[in-house]
């Protein structure tokens, strides 16, 4: 049994895999060692991997030490070629998503989109990871409008969606959400024009929202990062 831990900017996820099969998963607002011990419930583990977009701290170190985990970094071997000029600054979650997508859709060009705290676009072309884009996520865009103006209110992302607002709040929702939708659709459209047989995979906490509003066809897989981490763990265990 493998334990996979994905520590994000907003939430963390843990999952148990038996070979490539997901057995159990859980999302944590604040992850700590005791939570993970309770999650694994004394199950005998073969291997563990930790991926974190946060800087390594005592909490992460305690988890890694207890579970004798592989701490995923730019030095960790992965089963795909990476063509990126600054690998030390490349998010491990971005690589994990591409690894997972490549396993699901082998021998195809891929665009992996993760709609979380940031919206990341990652390209896998001609059997190699070649880079991508990073832009603010929905919550970050809402927060920025309030923080960097004197009078605009703080509005939270919601299931409500407007293409055109009739008051300030709905105008902010329309501007932020429809702006992000249009951005994502434009990126996908350009990618498909250049790679007609390619596959687009969508994941992340806001993935469900975008899936409902995108014009383009995509494959939604909220587990793609966890799957990719498990593949990387198995690759290193061998």
Percent of the chain at pLDDT above 70?
99
Average pLDDT in the chain: 94
| Angle, CA 223 vertex, CA 33 and CA 54 arms, to 5° | 45
State residue 55's pLDDT score. Answer: 83
Task: Look up residue 105 and give its DSSP letter.
Answer: S
159 pLDDT above the threshold of 80: no
What are the two backbone dihedrals, phi and then psi, of residue 190, each rounded to the nearest 5 degrees?
Answer: -60, -40
182 noted as active-site residue = no
**Which pTM value belongs to this model?**
0.93
143 pLDDT above the threshold of 90: yes
Closest CA to 99 of 88, 90, 86, 112: 112
pLDDT tens figures, 81-116:
999 999 999 999 999 999 999 999 999 999 999 999
| Angle, CA 90 vertex, CA 92 and CA 148 arms, to 5° | 105
158 pLDDT above the threshold of 80: no
State residue 84's pLDDT score. Answer: 93
Output helix, strand, coil percentages for the chain, rounded to the nearest 5.
40, 25, 35
Q: What is the DSSP string of 152-195?
A: PPP----S---SS-SSHHHHHHIIIIIHHHHHHHHHHHHHHHH-
Closest CA to 8 of 49, 62, 54: 54
State residue 77's pLDDT score. Answer: 97
Domain boundaries, the chain: 1-71, 110-220
Mean pLDDT of 174-191: 96
- Whether the CB-CB separation of 14 and 5 falls below 8 Å is answered with yes
Question: Cα–Cα distance between 43 and 3 in angstroms, integer?
Answer: 10
What are the two backbone dihedrals, phi and then psi, of residue 38, each rounded to the nearest 5 degrees?
Answer: -65, -40
Same fold, 1-71 and 110-220: yes
Q: Which CATH number applies to 1-71: 3.40.50.300, 3.40.50.970, 3.20.20.70, 3.30.420.40? A: 3.30.420.40
Mean pLDDT of 135-147: 95
Percent of the chain at pLDDT above 90?
86
- 6, 93, 122, 221: the catalytic one is 93
Which class is domain 110-220?
A: alpha beta
Mean pLDDT of 122-147: 96
State residue 41's pLDDT score. Answer: 87
């Amino acid at each position: 049994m493998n334990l996979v831990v994905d520590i994000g900017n907003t939430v963390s996820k843990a999952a148990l895999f038996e070979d490539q099969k997901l057995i159990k998963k859980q999302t944590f607002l604040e992850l700590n060692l005791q939570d993970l011990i309770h999650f694994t419930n004394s199950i005998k583990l073969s291997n563990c991997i930790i991926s974190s977009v946060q800087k390594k701290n005592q909490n992460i170190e305690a988890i890694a030490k207890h579970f004798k985990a592989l701490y995923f970094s730019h030095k960790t071997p992965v089963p795909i070629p990476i063509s990126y000029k600054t690998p030390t600054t490349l998010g491990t979650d971005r690589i994990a998503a591409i690894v997972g997508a490549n396993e699901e859709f082998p021998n195809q060009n891929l665009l992996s989109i993760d709609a979380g705290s940031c919206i990341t676009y990652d390209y896998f072309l001609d059997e190699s990871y070649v880079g991508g884009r990073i832009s603010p996520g929905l919550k970050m865009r809402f927060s920025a409008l309030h923080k960097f103006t004197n009078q605009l209110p703080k509005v939270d992302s919601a299931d409500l969606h407007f293409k055109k607002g009739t008051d300030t709040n709905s105008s902010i929702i329309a501007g932020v959400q429809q702006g992000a939708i249009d951005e994502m659709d434009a990126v996908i459209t350009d990618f498909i024009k250049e790679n007609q047989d390619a596959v687009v995979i969508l994941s992340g906490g806001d993935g469900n929202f975008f899936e409902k509003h995108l014009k383009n066809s995509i494959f939604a897989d909220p587990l793609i990062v966890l799957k990719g981490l498990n593949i990387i763990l198995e690759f290193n265990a061998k």
